[in-house]
């Protein structure tokens, strides 16, 4: 059974810092990996999707990497801003049509 772990569970940093969120998964036979953002009382917003054949994806100040063989992914946030404060969730898909298996998230606070 696929298990997804996210470290750290919570993180608080001053505005402007670059930071890295970590995600690991136990079964490397994944189809894709997705990073989401969740604001309080809201649904999930998809940030980046990395296909199993890819190494990384970038969107603005966000960069996600994938090392399938070691079962790891990182989300890099450059020049953090208070508006980046949210919970970040990592999820893996094991087939093109399957549902996702989620980690429990990293609760991020960016201090102004």
> Which residues make up the interface to another protein (CB under 8 A)?
31-32, 34, 36, 41-46, 49, 51, 89, 91, 96-105
Q: Which is nearer to another protein, 55 or 104 (CB)?
A: 104
Q: Which is nearer to another protein, 42 or 61 (CB)?
A: 42
Neighbours of 8 (CB within 10 A): 11
Give min distance, CB of 80 to another protein, in A: 23
Side-chain-facing half-sphere of 64: CA atoms under 13 Å:
25
CA dist 103 → 3, 15, 27, 63, 78 (Å): 8, 25, 13, 18, 22
Q: Tokens 């999820």: give the residue.
A: 91
Give min distance, CB of 15 to another protein, in A: 28
Q: Which is nearer to another protein, 60 or 97 (CB)?
A: 97
């Amino acid at each position: 059974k696929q298990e997804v772990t996210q470290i750290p569970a919570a993180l608080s940093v001053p505005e402007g810092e670059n930071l890295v969120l970590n995600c690991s998964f136990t079964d490397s036979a994944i189809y894709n990996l997705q990073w989401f953002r969740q604001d309080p009382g809201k649904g999930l917003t998809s940030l980046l999707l990395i296909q199993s054949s890819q190494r990384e994806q970038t969107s603005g100040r966000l960069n996600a990497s994938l090392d399938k063989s070691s079962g790891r992914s990182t989300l890099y946030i450059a020049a953090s801003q208070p508006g980046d404060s949210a919970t970040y969730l990592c999820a893996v898909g094991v087939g093109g049509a399957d549902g996702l298996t989620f980690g429990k998230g990293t609760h991020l606070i960016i201090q102004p």
